[in-house]
Amino acid sequence: MEEKLRALGLNSYESRVFLTLCEKGPMDGRTLSKISGVPLGRIYDVLRELESRGAVYVQNSRPKIYAVPDAERAIDNILRSRMEEFQKELSEVRSLAEELKEELKGKSKEGTLEAFWSFAMGIEKSLNIILQRLESVQNSLLNVATPQELHVFRSEKRKFTRVITSLLEREIELKILTTPEIVEILPPMHLRVPEVRVIDELPNKFAVLDNREALIKVENPARGGEMLGVIYI
CATH numbers and ranges of domains, the chain: 2-77 (1.10.10.10), 118-232 (3.30.870.10)
Cα–Cα distance for residue pair 15/22, rounded to 1 Å: 11
Cα–Cα distance for residue pair 231/121, rounded to 1 Å: 9
Helix (H) or strand (E) holding 6: helix 2-7
Q: Are 74 and 51 in contact (CB under 8 A)?
A: no
Which pLDDT tens digit goes with each residue over 167-214? 878 888 877 777 666 666 565 544 556 667 766 666 556 677 777 777
- Amino acid 57 reads Y
Average pLDDT over residues 4-12: 89
pTM for this predicted structure: 0.48
Percent of the chain with pLDDT over 90: 29
Instruction: Report pLDDT for 189.
Output: 45
Average pLDDT over residues 93-120: 74
Q: In what order do the strands lie in the sheet with 206-209?
A: 118-121, 227-232, 213-219, 206-209, 140-145, 173-178, 195-198
Instruction: Report pLDDT for 1.
Output: 86
| 10 burial level (CB within 10 Å; 0-12, 13-18, 19+) | buried
Residue 224 pLDDT grade (very low, low, confident, very high; cuts 50, 70, 90) = low
Cα–Cα distance for residue pair 26/64, rounded to 1 Å: 10
Average pLDDT over residues 31-38: 94
